[in-house]
Amino acid sequence: MGLFIQVEIDKALCQAQPGKCLECVPICPVDIFSELGGQLVVVAEREDECLLCELCLDAAPPGAIRIIKHYADEMLTRTAGALERAQTGRPH
């Protein structure tokens, strides 16, 4: 987990469409994602490098990727084509 940014993967949603989730690996400009055993994984030491470009949110199945901005108590995800922003309610 990064200090400022945390990227979460919903394994069930990715397993339903593994090829779609793996599209995140080549499109991430800062290499936050990797493939391990055919599954999408987060490279934890790179999470804080996230540019918030939302390319992974666009590539993955809806709701499969969540970006948590700890510094703003905010979570980003994409569901049914729309970007969702929500307060996380997590302590900073």
**Tokens standing for 76?**
């980003």
Mean pLDDT of the chain: 90
Tell me how far CA of residue 13 lies from CA of 49, 73, 74, in angstroms.
24, 24, 21
Over 90: is that where the pLDDT of 85 sits?
no
Least Cα distance to 47 among 63, 65, 22 occurs for 65
Q: In the structure, what pLDDT confidence band is assigned to residue 8 with cuts at 50, 70 and 90?
A: very high
Q: In the structure, what pLDDT confidence band is assigned to residue 84 with cuts at 50, 70 and 90?
A: confident
Tell me how far the alpha carbon of residue 12 is from its chain's centroid: 14
Q: Is this prediction's pTM over 0.75?
A: yes
φ, ψ of residue 30 in degrees (nearest 5): -120, 15
Rounded CA-CA distance 29/72 in Å is 22
Rounded CA-CA distance 76/80 in Å is 13
Rounded CA-CA distance 51/70 in Å is 14
Domains of the chain, CATH where assigned: 5-87 (3.30.70.20)
